[in-house]
Chains A and B, each alone.
Chain A
Amino acid sequence: MSVTEQRYKAVLAVKAGLRLDIDPRLLFDATRDGETGNRSGRSVCCVALAACSVGPVKPTLPPAPPTNLRVDHGDTLGIFYTSLGQTLLVELDYPTSRDKAVLDVAGRYSNGTVFRAAAVGRTTVTPTYTSTARSNATRRRHYRSSSW
């Protein structure tokens, strides 16, 4: 592997969150190498810019209107009874309803998703868990197993 190639891979590895041990003398040598060093420098700049760029800017959502029921991370293993037309604010990560004919999304807001009961029936709302939410839910399940 050439010095230039090795340095380029080191930057890529950093972008991917990996640890890569590399001899600092090789990096020093690369900068001393005229033509190769310049090409390496341009590559590193491109990768560094890519790593610093941000995704598309999300539009700011308004807060949810008042709802009949509210569900947050503490209630993820709950059953809620809702009559027709009532609304449910679910403060979880991008939740979806298994049976949309029964309960469907009425709107997504900055503090959660509002569902509206559309038909008599039974459905399950499933969040798109982040790793943090999954960890919290696991802790709660453990806690609940030893108490009401």
Chain B
Amino acid sequence: MIDDLELQNGLVISERDQVIAGLGYRSVIHLRSGQRFVLTLRNLPRGTAWARLTSSDPAIIVPDQPATLLADGIQRAFRAAKPGRTGVWATGTDCPSGDPCLTSPYTSFTFQVFS
């Protein structure tokens, strides 16, 4: 549960939203169409820093701004748009192509947008 201000100004979604607490299953994040959110990832310990956050279907999850590199991670603002299911994935600085690389750290979030 969140307060009304966060729902209006934008949710903060992070690593803890990737799994169901206490169960360990990867979760699907459900958002109403139009909901804005900021995805934040902290760099992995002893790993390459995160460099990209990419929406697999920009019609469903729209990137609102370019990603911002932080001292200890990365963040990017998105907006839920067309109803449907898609993912947002992150790769490290050693993956310049933007596609997932075998050598780079990789993680993803799954989103379900409803009207």
A residues within 8 A CB of B28?
75, 77-79, 144
A119 interface hit (Cβ, 8 Å): yes
Residues of A within 8 A of B (CB): 69, 75, 77-84, 98, 102-103, 117-124, 141, 144, 148
Q: How far is the CB of A58 from chain B (nearest CB, A)?
A: 30
B2 engages A83 (CB within 8 Å): yes
Instruction: Contact check, A124 vs B21: say whether CB atoms are below 8 A apart.
Output: yes
Please tell me if the beta carbons of A103 and B27 are within 8 angstroms of each other in the complex: no
A residues in contact with B42, CB < 8 Å = none
Q: Which of B87-103 contact A (CB under 8 A)?
A: 87
Q: What are 13 inter-chain pairs, A to B, with CB distance below 8 A?
A: A77-B27, A78-B27, A79-B27, A79-B30, A81-B2, A81-B7, A84-B3, A98-B22, A120-B1, A124-B23, A148-B85, A148-B87, A148-B111
Question: Bound complex: CA of A124 vs CA of B25, how far in Å?
Answer: 12
> B110 contacts the other chain (Cβ, under 8 Å)?
yes
Min CB distance, B79 to chain A, in Å?
14
Q: Return the chain A residue nearest B25 by Cβ.
A: A77
Asked if B53 CB lies within 8 Å of chain A CBs, one says no
Q: Are A148 and B110 in contact (CB under 8 A)?
A: yes
Q: In the complex, are the beta carbons of A79 and B86 less than 8 A apart? A: no
Q: How far is the CA of A122 from the CA of B86 in the complex (A)?
A: 24
| Contact flag A122-B85 (CB < 8 Å), given A81-B11, A83-B7 | no
Secondary structure class of chain A's binding surface, majority of residues: loop
CB distance B21 to A103 under 8 Å? no
| Residues of A contacting B4 in the complex (Cβ-Cβ under 8 angstroms) | 83-84
Nearest-CB distance from A102 to chain B (Å)?
5
- CA–CA, A117 and B1, complex, Å: 7
CB distance from B98 to the nearest CB of A (A): 18
Interface flag for B65 (CB, 8 Å): no
Tell which of B29, B35, B86 touches A78, judged by Cβ atoms closer than 8 Å.
Answer: B29
Proximity bits, B61-91, A CB within 8 Å = 1, else 0 = 0000000000000000000000001110000
The smallest C-beta distance from A124 to any residue of chain B, in angstroms, reads 6
- List CB contacts (< 8 Å) of B1-42 with chain A: 1-4, 6-7, 11, 17, 20-23, 25-31, 35
Q: Closest 10 interchain pairs by CB?
A: A117-B1, A148-B87, A78-B28, A83-B7, A79-B27, A83-B4, A79-B29, A78-B30, A77-B25, A148-B85
